[in-house]
Amino acid sequence: GDIKTYTVIFDGNGGKYNGEAKVTRINVPFGTMPEIPSNPVMLDETGVKTYTFNGYDSNVVPASGDVDTITYKAQWVETTNFYTVTIKAGEADFGGVTEKTVSVEAGTNVSDVASNLIIPSFKETEEKIVYKFDKWVYEDGTNIGSEDIVHDDTIVLKPTFVKKTLEECSWN
């Protein structure tokens, strides 16, 4: 006459339930619906991917069967994030515009983003000075590291230029 009981495990499958990898319900009586925990959360510390909880590998049903333990494994949908990189023209402009934005797939190397940018141009000045594009840097002037990746919306790039007189240019 004893009613069979079950251990029901909700496995986050990489996600966490308030910091825990699994939620276990013990002594769930035969024919009783186990209490389903609030949805697990999976975070990507790099900011490259977003994981959306997509239910469990099978429908949660009242406890039954010959087994003692029933496990439900969380399922995830993975999407790649896109972020906005802001491009400032610095002392120059992009045909009258001083700032542009580009949408970039998360995880893209920042130097690859920079290498595909259109270089802003200087308006003609009366002085005999030419501005020669040097390189792209971060807004604070620091160089772009070879391992730097796009991981959020905070990246701002600007160009650097070398000023030369027309006389200097004739030597190059």
Q: How confident is the model at residue 56 (pLDDT cuts 50, 70, 90)?
A: very high
Q: How crowded is residue 7: how many other Cβ atoms within 10 Å of its Cβ?
A: 16
Which of 13-17, 33-37, 86-90, 120-124 has the lowest average pLDDT?
120-124
- Residue 26: predicted pLDDT: 96
Report the pLDDT averaged over residues 5-16.
97
Q: Which element (helix H / strand E) includes 122?
A: none
Average pLDDT value over all residues in the chain: 90
Q: How confident is the model at residue 170 (pLDDT cuts 50, 70, 90)?
A: low
- Residue 172: predicted pLDDT: 47
**Cβ partners under 8 Å of residue 139, min gap 6:** 88, 156, 157, 158
132-141's contacts with Cβ under 8 Å and 24+ in sequence apart are: 132/161, 132/162, 132/163, 132/164, 132/169, 133/159, 133/160, 133/161, 134/159, 134/160, 134/161, 134/162, 135/159, 135/160, 136/160, 139/88
Report d(CA 56, CA 116) in Å as an integer: 42
- Residue 131: predicted pLDDT: 80
Residue 127 predicted with pLDDT over 90: no
Report d(CA 141, CA 169) in Å as an integer: 25
Do the strands 156-165 and 129-138 form a parallel or antiparallel pair, or are they unpaired? antiparallel
Angle (nearest 5°) at CA 158 between 155 and 164: 165
Residue 126 predicted with pLDDT over 80: no
Q: What is each CA distance from 40 to 3, 10, 33, 71, in whole angstroms?
A: 31, 9, 19, 15
DSSP letter for 18, please: T
Report d(CA 120, CA 129) in Å as an integer: 16
**Residue 65: what residue type?**
G
Report the pLDDT averaged over residues 127-131.
75
